Amino acid sequence: MAVGLAHGLLTEPTYKASTRLVIDNQTVSVSELGQAITDVQRSIPSGANLLATQSELIKSERVLQRAINQLEDDLGSRIEGLTVDELRKNLTVNVLPATNILELTYSHPDPEIVAIALNRVAEAVVAEGIDSVRSEAIALREFLESKVPEQEIKLRVAEEAESQYRQETGIVAIDVQTENLVQSLAQLKNQERDLLTQFQEVEVRSRLLQDVTGVDNLRQAYRAVRVGQNEDLNRLEAQLLSLESAVIETQSRLGPQNPELLALLEQRDATRVLYQQELAKILPPGSAGAVGRESSETISQNLVSEFILRSFERSALREKLGTVRAERLQMENSLADIPKFQQPLASLVREREEAANTLSLLRNKLEEARIAEAQIVNNIRLIDTAVAPDSPSSSPLVSLVLATAAGLFSAVGVIVLLEALDDRLHDAAEIEATIDLPVLGVLPKGLPQNPDIHTVKHFLEQIYWTEPYRRLVKALEFSSQGKLGTKSNIFVISGLTEREGQSLTTTNLAAVASQMSRQSLVVDANWQRPLQHLFLNVRPRPGLCDVLQEPGYSELSEVQSSAIAHLDVLPFGTSGDYAVKSNLAETPEIHTLLLAASKRYDFVAVTAPPIATCADAATLSNYGTGLILVVQANATSRSLLKRTIADLKKSGTTILGLVVAQTPDPTESSSLPLETPHRIHNPLVLSTQTQHIVDSEK
């Protein structure tokens, strides 16, 4: 009412004008790269709104200062002293529903200044967008101009390395050379088989000729042929044979002492001496006796000559066969060496092709950048221009009447309603006065609620958000001295209802503990609304429910590492039926699992279902230090908190204290797929059995 009265009496009439801008999502550049740059300029982070982002950019200091500079050129002293804050204060940007149009509205006591100032702001927005896109194109062109020479050098180096390797190994075209080697090797093998067949055939013939002629070697055959072809020897041999016949006939006819017989013997001996002398001229000493009479026979001469020819032919075939075999072995070795050369050559060829492709791409992009730099336009267009208004935009009297009525009715109604219905706890002091329990910490307002890992990382980057959690970690460690002097690092966190923020508090608390070099683990035992796999971006299953139902399970086998260092998470896992889920906290397996987690991790945070609807939190608190209750400031019911605390104390539950949260859990629920649950290894165990386990540990 006071503001309305002051406004009506003191403020002067103001004039208002408007103009419109459209954000065009269509292609605005003939160059593909130019279009990409324009898309980058109008791209926004996930979850944001393009029009809302552009609305804030219009009110940025850079745009408004540019508009003021243009106004000073147009109006001079009439706008002297106009600041960016004053211009921003009177400038309003609205998004027209279901359109890509922004409506700019400006208020000022001078109607002419209203229109001119609004037009200059719109022009500054368009010009700023063009300059921003063009600067991106210039930067990209300069970058590409510096990278093209570097890539040319890389290509030359790759080409030289490939050429040098080809020269060293003699490989020009591996496929062609391999094919030629294979064909040549096949020809050599065929030639080797033919030569081997011929050699065996000649060997058989030589052996048969050797058996027929009785000649053992080539030298002996040569002597026999040479002796048989000498005419003098043949003549002396004929004379010698004739004399032998005459001696035998004379001796049988005249007796051994006949002078005619003695003359024939003397003539025979003389002829034999001549024969030996003539034979010694042809043959080397000591070999005359190796030649028989058959050497002078024509058939024998032909067979011996054939033996000599076959011997030469066999020797020639043997040498040729050896040469072919040597060539074959050399060619097989060359063919076997090709794969050794092929891999390094393929690597060099791949490097050269990659360098060439990259260079071609860089050159193409450089040309596109040059085209984009010269052709780029903006995706923001001015639809219409503002005109000077004829009448003020508001009446002081109407504002006064509306402010008076609204103030009166709002004040009375809100005060009465709040006093009558408010059963909420508002701050830590009120909570401590209501409940005889310590408040371990008060968490900050406005924490990010999106259930993903990026939200948690953004939370860890803000010191004014993480410091209250660090103090809470220190307070929990100080109060973690358990019963009989044993120190426990397991903390069960729950709330009265599902909107108290216990899941978000558990995630942030464990994340901060991990940043404090504590090896931390988050165990999601909130079977009514499991959210930890969403916060920390891990697989929803397998998890706690699957581990406890699997026969022969390993306690921490399904723990998953998150994207945050030192922080692991065990999600709830596959959802079973109501009886399975609601009794998991009563099984001895979960006690064994928490003991194993306590030994491996420095800080274990277990989020449990709401205490007002489920007894799991009270049961799980017996396995660790105790229970931490999360209450929501300005939301938690005072009567419900008192009743819940009284019930917990009656059951003997250890309550470490309360944490005042000011940000509830996100509304998104976990989306676990429905499937048939695994068979439970152990039947459901009663609470008395769980208490027996706790007593045994004591």
Tens digit of each residue's pLDDT (9 = 90 or more) over 221-253: 655 555 555 566 667 767 777 877 887 777 777
Phi, psi of 207 (to 5 degrees): -70, -40
Using CA atoms, how far apart are residues 629 and 612, in angstroms rounded to an integer?
11
Q: Which residues contact 470 (CB under 8 A, 6 or more apart)?
A: 512, 516
Dist CA 177 CA 341 (whole Å):
12
Please determine, for residue 255, whether its predicted confidence score (pLDDT) is greater than 60. yes
For 501-519, what is each residue's pLDDT tens digit? 999 999 999 999 999 999 9
Q: Is pLDDT above 50 for 435?
A: yes
Least confident of 66-80, 481-495, 531-545: 481-495
What's the whole-number mean pLDDT along residues 258-263? 79
pLDDT digits (tens, 9 = 90+) for 570-594: 998 876 677 777 788 888 888 888 9
Q: Which of 56, 57, 82, 88 is nearest to 69 (CA)?
A: 82
Q: Which of 282, 288, 305 shows the shortest CA–CA distance to 230?
A: 282
Q: Tell me, what's the pLDDT at 60?
A: 84
What is the SS3 assignment for 19-83? EEEEECCCCCCCCHHHHHHHHHHHCCCCCCCHHHHHHHHHCCHHHHHHHHHHHHHHHHHHHCCCC
67 Cβ neighbours under 8 A, 6+ residues apart: 87, 117, 120, 121, 123, 124
Q: What pLDDT does residue 672 have? A: 39
Model pLDDT, residue 251: 77
The SS3 call for residue 686 is coil
Helix (H) or strand (E) holding 103: strand 101-108
Kindly tell me if the per-residue pLDDT of 280 is higher than 80: no
Strand partners, 17: 106
Task: Tell me what pLDDT residue 19 has.
Answer: 86
Find the DSSP H helices in 170-230. 174-213, 218-228
The pair of three-digit structure tokens given for residue 607, joined into one six-digit string? 């989020």
For residue 608, what pLDDT is reported?
93
Residue 605 β-bridge partners: 491, 522
Helix (H) or strand (E) holding 3: helix 2-10
538, pLDDT greater than 70: yes
What is the model's pTM?
0.42
Report DSSP state, residue 132: H
Give the 3-state secondary structure of residue 17: strand
Q: Which of 195, 216, 234 is nearest to 308 (CA)?
A: 216
Residues with Cβ within 8 Å of 228's Cβ and at least 6 positions away in sequence, in order, are: 234, 295, 296, 297, 300, 301, 304
* 638, amino acid identity: R
pLDDT digit string, tens, across residues 607-664: 999 998 888 899 998 888 889 999 998 888 888 888 999 999 898 889 999 999 989 9
Asked if pLDDT for residue 693 goes beyond 70, the answer is: no
430, pLDDT greater than 70: yes
Q: Where in the chain is the domain with CATH 3.40.50.300?
A: 437-481+488-672
Within 8 A by CB and 6+ apart from 6, the residues are none
Top pLDDT among 158 and 680 is at 158
From residue 291, alpha-carbon distances to 216, 243, 281, 305 in Å are: 12, 20, 14, 15
Across 586-623, b (16+ Cβ under 10 Å) vs e yields bbebbbebbeebbeebbbbbbbbbbbbebbbbbbbbbb
Distance of alpha carbon 86 from alpha carbon 71, whole angstroms: 14
pLDDT band at 421 (very low <50, low <70, confident <90, very high): confident
Model confidence at 687, in pLDDT bands (50, 70, 90)? very low
Convert the pLDDT of each residue in 289-328 to its tens digit.
444 444 445 666 566 677 677 777 778 888 888 888 888 8
| pLDDT tens by residue, 349-392 | 888 889 899 988 888 888 877 776 666 566 677 777 777 777 77
Arithmetic mean of pLDDT, 69-92: 80
pLDDT of residue 457: 92
Per-residue pLDDT at 657:
92
Kindly tell me if the per-residue pLDDT of 37 is higher than 60: no
Q: What percent of the chain has pLDDT over 90?
A: 16
Residue with the bigger pLDDT between 492 and 686: it is 492
What is residue 551's predicted lDDT score, i.e. its pLDDT? 62
Query: At 15, which helix (H) or strand (E)?
Result: strand 15-23
Give dist(CA 376, CA 524) in Å, integer: 53
Q: How confident is the model at residue 288 (pLDDT cuts 50, 70, 90)?
A: very low
Residues 521, 601: contact at Cβ < 8 Å? Answer: yes
Per the listing, tokens 């040098």 go with 164
Helices (H) and strands (E) in the chain, counts: 23, 12
The CATH number given to 437-481+488-672 is 3.40.50.300
pLDDT of residue 301: 59
Q: Tell me the per-residue pLDDT of 658-669, one tens digit each, with 9 for 90 and over.
A: 999 989 988 754
CA atoms within 13 A on the CB side of 116: 16
Contact 203, 311 (CB under 8 A): no
Hey, what are 332's tokens?
A: 């097989």
Q: Is the pLDDT of residue 691 over 70?
A: no
Q: What is the mean pLDDT of residues 17-29?
A: 70
Q: Which of 674, 668, 451 is nearest to 574 (CA)?
A: 674
Mean pLDDT of 60-78: 81
Q: How many CB atoms lie within 10 A of CB 413?
A: 10
- Give pLDDT, residue 406: 87
Q: Average per-residue pLDDT in the chain?
A: 78
How far is the CA of 434 from the CAs of 346, 495, 610, 631, 659, in angstroms? 79, 17, 20, 13, 14
